[in-house]
Structure 1
Amino acid sequence: MEHPPRLERGLIRVPVTDADELDASRVLTERLHQVDALLERYATIAQLRAKPTSELGDDDRRTSWLHLSHFVSSCMSMATDSLASTKQLLLPDGEQLEHRVTAQFPLLRSALESAATALWLLRPDSQRERIVRLLQVRATDIEFDLTLVKAAAGLVDLSTSQGRSTSQAAIRGAVARRKRHLEQMSKIASAAGIDSAEYINGAPGYGDIVEQATDYPDLNGANASTVWRLISGLTHPSPLRMMSTSKHGDTVDNDDGTLYVVASMDLGNTTTSLLAAMTTYRQATETLAARIARVHTRP
């Protein structure tokens, strides 16, 4: 009796042979080779010190010690690392593309969210609006910090005096840090004529940040936020998103009520996601450069 061929299951490596996919591979590879130039451009801008008379310098003066430039730098450092890691993941030898099913999407989501947050902070021409947005993200950050510390403190062995002391000290430190931040935020807001209701509830979600940051003639906020939603569904488990974004081979009936099919991530989804992250990163870099170079004009 002849047995049917054994079907491989799980993750398997398959070569790209389809003509359209080969073209898509070349497009994606070309985009990945453009990443280094983007990162080098930001590295150059990041070395510049904003003069006190510049827009960014005056933003920092008004937001000390929670400087706007510090939050932007943190965002761009994360975006830089995520973009560099995406290239290393997909072009491990620098030349040959190794396309993954989903591993690139958490990196691309991080790159897009981080670059978009930097751009969202920098983009408004109104200094007051830039300060409001900084206070919003700072409010979100300090609340998450306290939540994390409390959760971590709960993991300490509370049956011992040392454990209880360690847990309580960590929480006291986080509460004191939150208080210092909120007091400084209040001083910054008061000096800029900003009511606490404008920032105390924190920043909008990342989908809104991405759309607002890119909702300008030179970018398309709706497109970028749609890409963010695509990436989000490929970062967390979503069978529906996996099926809707994959290319499928022939279906085989397993004779037990289930079907077997080889599915691979559509190369176009990775290219689109990479392009959204790169474009937002580039715009954040150039907006930062402009805020450093432009002289602040007092109203």
Structure 2
Amino acid sequence: MADVDRRLDEELNRLNQLEESLRDPQGCVARPNSDLSADVARLPDIWATSVVHRSLRHAIECLYAAGTLLSDGEWLHAPFVLARGAYESSALAVWLLQPDSADARLSRLIAQHGDSWRYSEKAYGGTTLDDDGFHSERRQYAAKMSAIAGVNKSECRFPGFERLIESVDDFPGQGESLLTAWRLCSGVSHAKTWALNEITVEVDRLDESEHLHFSARVPNRSLGVTFLGVGRRTVERASIVLSIRTSTRPHGIRMQMRRSTADS
């Protein structure tokens, strides 16, 4: 228990540091002669820096809330639901910034923008409110973005979060990979029995018949802290890639992913 509390405190402290770094508006500005300044010149109406900054703030808030619930020690499922949201937001940031090709980055930015407005239109359509043609206008503009940016329209398709996360998975096939953690947390989000069993610890069991039993379960705080670290790690990764893309070229910023004892 003491070790879990220590690890949780370390994760929360690191999240605080990440949140403080995002408070500096200069950290998300594309400097002259940087990769993203060139992207803005080609597509001036949508900035990847704004999307990424918003995504990372969202991820950190979800992770900190999950950590707070883990501190309480009574919540079985909610920390993992929050972790899923953080994984998707931080993975989106990595996905938008990861390609070295400007065409690929712009295609992904346009895809994200179109997907966002598509869901906005669906949500708005479920109300009696009149959007005064706003969503139709945005849809038409999104269709023109590929021509403005000079990219292939067929490449501007949002892949969905499972394929997106698979494409940026940090440690494929290993226990703490981002994709593995996301799949489990997605199962928890939909209250899948297998997933709910995986994230809890059975402390008592009463068998009523061959196919019926009652199970008393408690939170698996150690797994929760591990999954908190997966999210924090992805936010850190996105932050580094953001620095690479917003810094004036030439620069010597590089990133190398490796497992540490804290992630094993």
Establish whether TM, by shorter chain, passes 0.5. Answer: yes
Q: Output aligned runs, 1:2-81, within 5 Å.
A: 21-44=1-24, 47-81=27-61
CA apart distance, 1:282 = 0.2
Counterpart pick for 2:93 among 114, 118, 122: 118
- Structure 1: runs of 5+ lacking an equivalent: 1-20, 92-96, 157-166
1:86–1:211: structure 2 CA closer, same or farther, 3 Å change rule? same
CA contact (8 A) 1:234 1:241 kept: yes
Aligned residues: 248
Alpha-carbon distance in 1 for matches of 2:49, 2:28: 12
CA RMSD of aligned residues (A): 2.6
* 1:181 equivalent in alignment to 2:142: yes
CA contact (8 A) 1:58 1:296 kept: no
1:230 is matched with: 184
* CA displacement 1:169-191 (0-9 Å, x = unmatched): 326222122222322x13334x3
1:151 is matched with: 126
Larger deviation, residues 74-83 vs 122-131: 74-83
CA contact (8 A) 1:60 1:69 kept: no
2:231 is matched with: 277
CA contact (8 A) 1:213 1:221 kept: no
CA apart distance, 1:86 = 2.4
Counterpart pick for 2:221 among 253, 262, 267: 267
Counterpart pick for 2:171 among 220, 231, 242: 220
CA contact (8 A) 2:117 2:139 kept: yes
* CA displacement 1:71-92 (0-9 Å, x = unmatched): 222212211221232233334x
1:47–1:128: structure 2 CA closer, same or farther, 3 Å change rule? same
1:46–1:284: structure 2 CA closer, same or farther, 3 Å change rule? farther
* 1:205 equivalent in alignment to 2:166: no
1:84–1:249: structure 2 CA closer, same or farther, 3 Å change rule? closer
CA contact (8 A) 2:114 2:139 kept: no
What TM-score, normalized by structure 2, do the two folds share?
0.83
Alpha-carbon distance in 2 for matches of 1:204, 1:141: 13
CA contact (8 A) 1:86 1:107 kept: yes
Larger deviation, residues 26-35 vs 284-293: 26-35
2:262 is matched with: none
1:76–1:23: structure 2 CA closer, same or farther, 3 Å change rule? closer
Whose radius of gyration is greater, 1 or 2? 1
CA contact (8 A) 1:227 1:272 kept: no
- Structure 2: runs of 5+ lacking an equivalent: 252-264
Alpha-carbon distance in 2 for matches of 1:254, 1:226: 34
Larger deviation, residues 124-133 vs 236-245: 236-245
Query: Matched residue of 2:249: which SS?
Result: coil
1:87–1:117: structure 2 CA closer, same or farther, 3 Å change rule? same
Query: Matched residue of 2:218: which SS?
Result: strand
Alpha-carbon distance in 2 for matches of 1:38, 1:287: 14
* 1:100 equivalent in alignment to 2:75: yes
Query: Matched residue of 1:36: which SS?
Result: helix
* CA displacement 1:203-256 (0-9 Å, x = unmatched): 112122122223xxxx3245211110011111121122212332111223569x
What TM-score, normalized by structure 1, do the two folds share?
0.74
1:196–1:227: structure 2 CA closer, same or farther, 3 Å change rule? same
